[in-house]
Amino acid sequence: MATVTTPTARPTGAELEEALDDGITRVRVNGVDRELAIDPDTPLLWALRDELRLTGTKYGCGIAQCGACTVMMDGQTIRSCVTPISAADGGIVTTIEAIDSPEAKAVQEAWVAIDVPQCGYCQSGQVMSATALLTENRKPTDIDIDNAMAGNVCRCATYVRIRQAIHDAAKKLEA
Amino acid sequence: MIFSRTAFKSAVATIVALTLFGAASTYAQDAETLRPASEIEAIGDERERSLAAYEEVAKVVTHPRCMNCHPRDSSPRQGMDMAMHQPPVVRGVDDFGAPAMRCATCHGNENVSYVGSEGSIPGHDPWHVAPLSMGWIGLSKGAICEQLKDPERNGDRTMAEIHEHMAEDGLVGWAWNPGEGREPAPGTQDVFGQLTKLWIDNGAHCPTS
Amino acid sequence: MNISVKSGQPNRRQFLTAAGGLTLGLFLPLGNRAAAQSGAAAVLATDAAPVTPFEPNAFIRIALDDTVTVLIKHIEFGQGTYTGLTTLVAEELDADWLQMRATSAPADAKIYANTLFGMQGTGGSTAMANSYMQMRKAGAAARAMLVSAAAESWNVPAGEIAIANGVVSHEQSGKQSSFGALADAASKVATPIDVPLKEAKDFVFIGTDQPKLDSLAKTDGSAEFAIDIYRDNMLTVAVQHPPKFGATLVNFDDTKTLEVEGVAFVHQLPTGVAVYAANTYAAFKGRDALDVNWDFSKAETRSTIQMNEEWAAAAKKGGTVAEQSGDLDAAMAGAAKTLSADYTFPFLAHAPMEPIDGVIEIREAETGREAEVWMGSQLQTVDHATIAGTLEIPQDRVALNTTLTGGSFGRRAQPGSPMAAELAAIAAAPDKAGSYKMLWSRSDDIRGGYYRPLTAHHLEAGLDADGKIVAWRNDIANQSFLRGSAFEGMIKDGIDSTAIEGAVKMPYKWPAHRVSWAEMKTPVTGLWWRSVGHTHTAFATETFLDEALLAGGKDVVEGRLELIADSPRDAWVLKRLADMISWAGPQQVNGRARGIALHESFNTYVAMAAEVSDDSGQPKVHKIWCAVDCGVAVNPNVIRAQIEGGIGYGLGAALFNAITLGEGGEVQQSNFDDYRMLRINEMPEIEVSIIPSTEPPTGIGEPGTPPIAPAIANAWRALTGTNTRQLPFVTPSV
């Protein structure tokens, strides 16, 4: 079972090396240092949900085909369903609950403004990918959007609006 | 006694792997295996030696485990049928994917077995597509051979560096350790390295097709 | 857990803690202590009113902070019912949209029945249709009570009181009030009966785009689905189901499973072997370690290839006549020209994004065992009874909370409630207090059955010398998923209408026609899949009709219009579509061609055009135009969204999807890698035109799906000359 601690100083150097060997996975999640004393093969997705109760990140397929489990780790989108927590040890993870960059805000506002979500289940992942896209590319073309978003499945097929909302968010960021 | 589906699959995978690795030492004349370097060395003619070695090298190079990430367009392939990668991905400016859809968005530092489904996702550090100039898909064995010798199209490598890439590169080596549910490339990286050396040392001759 | 979602800035917690004030006709099931303990039910419990004679009005709560919460009797799974039904109340209440909230109503068939079903449930695209008058009446009654309360406290005639934008005012005295300030007084006013409703010309909200209530919560990760429910000491449960349909358990060895860290125990269930674990990872890992023996003697062992042949032969032979006119045999014999075609359609999984799941908590109260359930219940009344029955406790001791749900497309509306039954069986097996989360993996879902039935069609048409269609024959073979279920009564005169709907009651008039149905049997479980029978009938009839019209030398739009002279709403959408695309034939230019389809389903009329090109032998769809008549367009924004989504859902299936059984009967697909989902790069541009109407609102969740595949196939024929006889367009890589 997980032991969740309050924020602590992050280990560095030799201390870090030692820390990595003690069977406890240390991850900074949404700015809070967490210690996970669970099987290191546990997917980050299930650690976030079952142990940390960060339920915005969703399970859709478990095989990195749908993107519902997308989170940011060390500045890059990852599929948390195929990322064992051992691979996240020492990492910095941000989930849908804590994104607050100008890009994230622009994306979320654009999403609400044109009512992108239908069932909503995939949308955390969509928002994470769209935010990452705009963080790297402030003026994405339709092809850039396809390339960034094709890993996020929406069974309600809200794709027309996802595309529109990303363009809208880009315009807002430009202004 | 009925195996669970997963257990059965992994048992099959084990048998397949044993067959493949075992065959390298018994040099069955099977396309799925590699003839050992010693057998090639016994060939009298240098050119024939080189061509025979390359024939074995090509078995690896043209195997989907290697070809899938050497596309001549922007998208890697996957599976033994070399289908388009799903989800669709592109090489991007650095061969490591597009913004928000990097190779490492899904592929970690090592193979990871799925949880709740069969199979695994391949991984290695780094994981990326070969540069466009090094694309092979659709080329003949001979054309790939010429390409391997051309610094313009082999990543600006000398032949010694080509050997090193084949024999020691970790990502190349992944082809023999591709994870649950995936057929490895024939032989071993060790034998592959020896065969590459034989090909090079005997003149790096290329077949015409 | 009910979800309260917001339209404006005041957050949900403020609303929850400010609960109080007026409750109209709210009925809290007596003795339902379980419900009273859950978070959302606590909201319901406040100011619980006695049972009122006017029960259908148990839909509105007005709090002291002016928020108006509408209790939604339908499941919200993306179709927009939270927003749609709230719009109806806001309209008659003259509320401000920003004060409107929505929450899920508890499971209670006495109050929250679908008026078209006679039980609580969502399906057949009826949520708006059955609620339209009911919710408006509820809103109008609440408005009348607020007016009465204001008249009394201000001592002015009720007739002089106005309400607009959530403000109650009396012009002569200058008095005004918000709803919240009048809530207590209004709660003491007798519930009025037969309050007049607004005329359409006075609508403020109906017919205009209102922002959806749940968009924000579904964008910031806070929306709570069944999978997000965590109870103290809850165990997650993964069930190993049989590898073939109809197989039964012989025995199992759980030795290795019990060695997995986190696994608590293992139980046999009617549906398989359940592994109970402290977390999801342990549950799945423990399940993988099970060693199970199955008996396949009653299992489906035919492959899809075999079944296709048998189904097609049955269709060709013909079945029970479902509908006919004229003398078909004579008409066909006298035809100058005849053509025929055979179609097969595969099993399809719904694959909603949220997998099959649910949470159940068993509590031992002094008065006996009780249960609380959180799930995406689409047929609450059936699920509720199934859970109580499985647990062997009275239904009033089971509280069923309908959560927000990550899609369904029909998957969660099951005649026999197998999903609820498995959840209850999970809780029943340990026979003690505890809470459990049932979680199917994606593979469990893809291989789990309840598919759109495999279907074969045989069609024949006869044309006279002028190219006019004088004979139409359509024979259909597939299974009935209603057979043997609680819904078997829907099978009339030997015909399961859900198996053939769309092929009968067509708008086209011909001198002679016959439609028949051959019922096929298989242990593979079937289910309604977004638009049900229309999924295949629209394709077979609309592509074959195109062929017949072309064979008769007719334009496919003009030819259809000639056949639907007596169906003005069909004609209206088709004409509108033709205008939208300036129809001048398939317009095969620049490697693209256009095709059309017309299909009514769930009393909604849809005409669709597709523009496609040839992408390495497969259709690439560039643009879709759609004209739709669904009666009064309550929220055009939601209607457009449902059409967009319905197109995308139908398009993905038409292009890629087939569940196939291999030799021996095992499902060959398991996840989104081999059961491919439509992605953003495959989504066409979409243009929707909504026909203005004063007819009562009809369905919109499903009708966008049926016409997409035939529109593409008709365009594909124009482009390539190839008739599409089998779906999907792209052969699955098995």
DSSP string, C536-599: HHHHHHHHHHHHHHHHTT--HHHHHHHHTTT-HHHHHHHHHHHHHTT--S---BTTEEEEEEEE
Contact B83 C733 (CB under 8 A): yes
Please report the DSSP string for C583-642 in residue order. Answer: --S---BTTEEEEEEEEEETTEEEEEEEEEEEETTEEEEEEEEEEEE-SS-S-HHHHHHH
Give the A:B interface size as CB pairs under 8 Å: 80
CA distance B84 to chain A (A): 13
Q: Which residues of B touch C616 (CB under 8 A)?
A: none
Range in A26-40, A106-120, C50-64 the model is least confident about: C50-64
User: Reduced to 3 DSSP states, what percent helix, strand and coil does chain C have, rounded to the nearest 5?
Assistant: 30, 25, 40
Sign of CA dihedral C681, C687, C690, C691: negative
Q: Which residues contact C137 (CB under 8 A, 6 or more apart)?
A: C56, C57, C92, C195, C197
Angle between helices B159-168 and B189-201 (to 10 degrees): 170
Q: Minimal CA–CA distance to A146: which of B73, B101, C616?
A: B101
- Rounded-to-integer distance, Cα C306 and Cα C314, Å: 12
Burial (CB count within 10 angstroms: exposed 0-12, middle 13-18, buried 19+), residue A143: exposed
Mutate to test the interface with B, among A147, A149, A154, A163 (most CBs of B within 10 A): A147
How many CB atoms are closer than 10 A to CB C367? 9
What are the beta bridge partners of residue C597? C608
When pLDDT is averaged across residues C106-115 and rounded to a whole number, the result is 91
Q: Please give the CATH topology (third level) of the domain spanning C5-202.
A: Aldehyde Oxidoreductase; domain 4 (3.30.365)
Q: Which residues of C touch B3 (CB under 8 A)?
A: 291
HSE, CB side, 13 Å, CA atoms: give it for residue C169: 10
pLDDT tens-digit profile of C142-194?
A: 999 999 999 999 999 999 999 999 999 999 999 999 998 998 888 888 888 88
Contact C441 B116 (CB under 8 A): yes
* Host H or E run for residue C398: strand C398-402
pLDDT of residue C190: 86
Q: How confident is the model at residue C29 (pLDDT cuts 50, 70, 90)?
A: very low
pLDDT of residue C191: 83
Question: What residue of A is the nearest CA neighbor of C623?
Answer: A160
Contact C620, A146 (CB under 8 A): no
Contact C634, C87 (CB under 8 A): yes
Q: Which residues of C touch A48 (CB under 8 A)?
A: none
Say if residue C239's pLDDT is above 80: yes
Q: Rounded to two decimals, what is the model's pTM?
A: 0.91
C673 in B contact zone (CB under 8 Å) = yes
- Rounded-to-integer distance, Cα A26 and Cα A159, Å: 36
Question: What residue of C is the nearest CA neighbor of B117?
Answer: C443
Q: Which residues of B touch C447 (CB under 8 A)?
A: none
pLDDT of residue A175: 86
Say if residue A34's pLDDT is above 50: yes
pLDDT tens-digit profile of C717-732?
A: 999 999 999 999 987 6
Range in C104-113, C374-383, C596-605 the model is least confident about: C104-113
pLDDT of residue C486: 83
C153 in B contact zone (CB under 8 Å) = no
Stated length of chain C: 734
How many CB atoms are closer than 10 A to CB C422? 24
For residue C158, what are its two tokens? Answer: 């009720």
Interface predicted TM-score of the whole assembly (ipTM), two decimals? 0.92
One-letter amino acid of C381: T
Question: What residue of B is the nearest CA neighbor of A126?
Answer: B100
Residue range(s) in chain C whose domain bears CATH number 3.30.365.10: 5-202, 228-297+351-446, 318-349+450-720
- Phi-psi label, residue C204: left if phi above 0, alpha if psi -120 to 50, beta otherwise: alpha
Q: How confident is the model at residue A6 (pLDDT cuts 50, 70, 90)?
A: very low
pLDDT tens-digit profile of C257-288?
A: 999 999 999 999 999 999 999 999 999 999 99
Q: Which residues of B touch A129 (CB under 8 A)?
A: 100-101
A102-174 maps to which CATH number? 1.10.150.120
Q: Looking up tokens 């898909």, which residue turns up? A: B137
Q: Minimal CA–CA distance to C101: which of C194, C29, C166, C189?
A: C166
Contact B99 A132 (CB under 8 A): yes
Question: What residue of A is the nearest CA neighbor of B90?
Answer: A147
Q: Which residues of A touch C227 (CB under 8 A)?
A: 55, 58-59
pLDDT of residue C6: 38
- Phi-psi label, residue C501: left if phi above 0, alpha if psi -120 to 50, beta otherwise: beta
Contact C102, C86 (CB under 8 A): yes
pLDDT of residue A12: 62
Mutate to test the interface with B, among A39, A65, A83 (most CBs of B within 10 A): A83
How many CB atoms are closer than 10 A to CB C722? 12
Q: Minimal CA–CA distance to A89: which of A138, A142, A33?
A: A33
Contact C683 A159 (CB under 8 A): yes
When pLDDT is averaged across residues C433-439 and rounded to a whole number, the result is 98
Assign C645 to helix, strand or coil.
helix
How many CB atoms are closer than 10 A to CB C615? 12
Q: Which residues of B touch C236 (CB under 8 A)?
A: none
Structural domain C318-349+450-720, CATH architecture? 2-Layer Sandwich (3.30)
Domain extents for chain B? 5-88+131-201
CA distance C614 to chain A (A): 19
Q: Which of B6, B79, B86 sits opposite C288 (nearest CB)?
A: B6
Sign of CA dihedral B99, A111, C700, C643: negative
SS (H, E, C) chain B: CCCCHHHHHHHHHHHHHHHHHHHHHHCCCCCCCCCCHHHHHCCCCHHHHHHHHHHHHHHHHCCHHHHCCCCCCCCCEECCCCEECCCCCCCCCCCCEECCEEHHHHCCCEEEECCCCCCEEEEECCCCCCCHHHCCCCCCHHHHHHHHHCCCCCCCCCHHHHHHHHHHCHHHHHHHCCCCCCCCCCCCHHHHHHHHHHHHHCCCCCCCC
pLDDT of residue A128: 98
HSE, CB side, 13 Å, CA atoms: give it for residue A112: 19
pLDDT of residue C224: 95
C443 in B contact zone (CB under 8 Å) = yes
Q: Minimal CA–CA distance to B8: which of C233, C492, C288, C637?
A: C288
When pLDDT is averaged across residues A74-88 and rounded to a whole number, the result is 97
Q: How confident is the model at residue A17 (pLDDT cuts 50, 70, 90)?
A: low
HSE, CB side, 13 Å, CA atoms: give it for residue C62: 27
Residue C413 CA: distances (Å) to CA of B126, C314, C524, C589: 46, 29, 17, 44
Say if residue C707's pLDDT is above 60: yes
Contact B88 C284 (CB under 8 A): no
Say if residue C489's pLDDT is above 50: yes
Q: What angle do CA C716, C719, C720 make, to 5 degrees?
A: 80
Contact C280 A49 (CB under 8 A): yes
Assign C658 to helix, strand or coil.
coil
Structural domain C228-297+351-446, CATH architecture? 2-Layer Sandwich (3.30)
Say if residue C488's pLDDT is above 70: yes
Contact C652 A157 (CB under 8 A): yes
Q: How confident is the model at residue A23 (pLDDT cuts 50, 70, 90)?
A: confident
What are the beta bridge partners of residue C251? C293
Q: Please give the CATH topology (third level) of the domain spanning A13-94.
A: Ubiquitin-like (UB roll) (3.10.20)
One-letter amino acid of B128: H
pLDDT of residue A16: 59
pLDDT of residue C733: 56
Q: Minimal CA–CA distance to C500: which of C664, C354, C243, C318?
A: C318
The CA dihedral of A145, A146, A148, A150, to the nearest 10 degrees, is 140
In tens digits, what is the pLDDT along chain B, a chain of 209 residues? 333 333 333 433 433 333 333 333 333 344 468 999 999 999 999 999 999 999 999 999 999 999 999 999 999 999 999 999 999 999 999 999 999 999 999 999 999 999 999 999 999 999 999 999 999 999 999 999 999 999 999 999 999 999 999 999 999 999 999 999 999 999 999 999 999 999 999 999 999 98
Q: Which of C278, C637, C680 sits opposite A1 (nearest CB)?
A: C278
Q: Which residues contact C76 (CB under 8 A, 6 or more apart)?
A: C82, C102, C104, C214, C404, C405
How many percent of chain C have pLDDT more than 90? 84
Assign A115 to helix, strand or coil.
coil
Q: What is the CA radius of gyration of chain B?
A: 18
How far is the first Cα of chain C from the last one, in angstroms, to the nearest whole number?
41
pLDDT of residue A2: 44
- Rounded-to-integer distance, Cα C318 and Cα C677, Å: 34
What are the beta bridge partners of residue C292? C252
